[in-house]
Amino acid sequence: MGDVKTAGWFAPQNRKETIAGLLFVLPALIGFVTFVAGPMIATLVISLMKYDLFSAPTFVGLKNFQRMFVDPRLWKAFGNTATFAVFAVLGNVGLGVVLAVLLNRRMPKALQYIYRAAYFFPSLVGLIFVAVLWQFMFQRDIGIINYYLGKIGIGPVSWLSSPQVALISVIILDVWKNVGFAMLIAIAGLQSISTDYYDAARVDGARGWRTFWQITVPLLSPTILFLITMNTIGAFKVFESIVVLTNGGPGDATRSLVMYIYEQGFKSFNMGYASAISLLLLGVIVIITTIQFVLSKRWTFYE
């Protein structure tokens, strides 16, 4: 183990370990090839086809990709998704870090426990379930959100039926649902920062916001970068909350990239075009991941 191999894999002294190793990974490998790698390659092939499930596929070269450039609905969906991503990430990571800092101070154990549980619980509940609840709460006339806003003289707001507001509603739901997870990761990051830095800062007379910006944020930057990456990738896959709240409407005002893939593939049966768009999604994720990889080597401050 760890020592250098001197003979072949199947030399008598190695054979047992080699066989055991291969057998141990075999089930996962079969699954990976069948359900991940194989389909990945097939997507590349199908993206070059015109295929509607019923008639035989025909090879169309790069037509599906050319079509993407001139499809205004696709770019509307892409724009919606990107806008959603920017604000959802800002909300989740920003609020998550602030919550983590506030919760990480000395406070009664029971209180801390209750607060953390309350903030984290929505992260554990399926998006479909909570989105159904929020759909009721967002209703213009019978919704409780407008009821309480009305009490302080605001509204009524058309949360789901106004093109300007609908995407905001989706963002609100997303931040409510996911901020607790960001908070939890940020708390873990905070707890790995040595208290020496804070002690030194206190001796220097720095307090409050100054410590936050000059010590917490730089030292937490690896965690923040990780959170931004995870949340951005997640945001680009937004689907369920929109299906429940607005179903992409009004018009295309909240249609997301994944909704568009689903509709092209499984409602219009443009399997080739759907595959091509799904490669665009993959491209976005690869770019975000690469950026994170490069930045995390350069930018972040490690102890």
DSSP H/E element including 50: strand 49-50
The distance of closest approach from Cβ of residue 76 to other proteins in the complex, given in angstroms and rounded to an integer, is 18
Cα atoms in the 13 Å half-sphere on the side-chain side of 13: 6
* Choices 24-32, 59-67, 85-93, 213-221; region in contact with other proteins by CB under 8 A: 24-32
* Choices 68-76, 79-87, 162-170, 173-181; region in contact with other proteins by CB under 8 A: 173-181
Among positions 43-62, residues that touch other proteins (CB under 8 A) are: 43, 46
DSSP H/E element including 58: strand 58-59
Strand partners, 50: 58
Among positions 38, 79, 218, 251, the unique one binding other proteins when judged by CB under 8 A? 38
**What secondary structure letter does DSSP report for 90?**
I
Among positions 211-240, residues that touch other proteins (CB under 8 A) are: 223, 226, 230, 237, 239-240
Q: How far is CA 197 from CA 45, 69, 303, in A?
A: 55, 52, 11
One character per residue 245-264, x = contact with other proteins (rule: CB under 8 A): -------------x--xx--
The distance of closest approach from Cβ of residue 296 to other proteins in the complex, given in angstroms and rounded to an integer, is 13
Q: What are phi and psi of 3, to 5 degrees?
A: -75, 160
Q: Which has the closest alpha carbon to 104: 231, 229, 228, 219?
A: 219
* CB of 26 or CB of 62, closer to other proteins: 26
Q: With contacts defined by CB under 8 A, how many residues of the chain interact with other proteins?
A: 97
For 59, the 3-state DSSP assignment is: strand
Rounded CA-CA distance 34/138 in Å is 43
By DSSP bridging, strand 49-50 and strand 58-59 are antiparallel
For 8, the 3-state DSSP assignment is: coil
184 binds other proteins (CB under 8 A): yes
281 binds other proteins (CB under 8 A): yes
DSSP H/E element including 143: none
The distance of closest approach from Cβ of residue 95 to other proteins in the complex, given in angstroms and rounded to an integer, is 9
* CB of 167 or CB of 183, closer to other proteins: 183
The distance of closest approach from Cβ of residue 271 to other proteins in the complex, given in angstroms and rounded to an integer, is 5
Among positions 21, 79, 218, 251, the unique one binding other proteins when judged by CB under 8 A? 21
Instruction: Identify whether the C-beta of residue 57 lies closer than 8 Å to the C-beta of residue 49.
Output: yes
How many H helices and E strands in the chain?
A: 15, 2
Among positions 72-131, residues that touch other proteins (CB under 8 A) are: 99, 102-103, 105, 107, 111, 114-130
* Choices 22-30, 59-67, 78-86, 212-220; region in contact with other proteins by CB under 8 A: 22-30
The distance of closest approach from Cβ of residue 202 to other proteins in the complex, given in angstroms and rounded to an integer, is 10
End-to-end CA distance of the chain: 31
* CB of 267 or CB of 298, closer to other proteins: 267
132 binds other proteins (CB under 8 A): yes
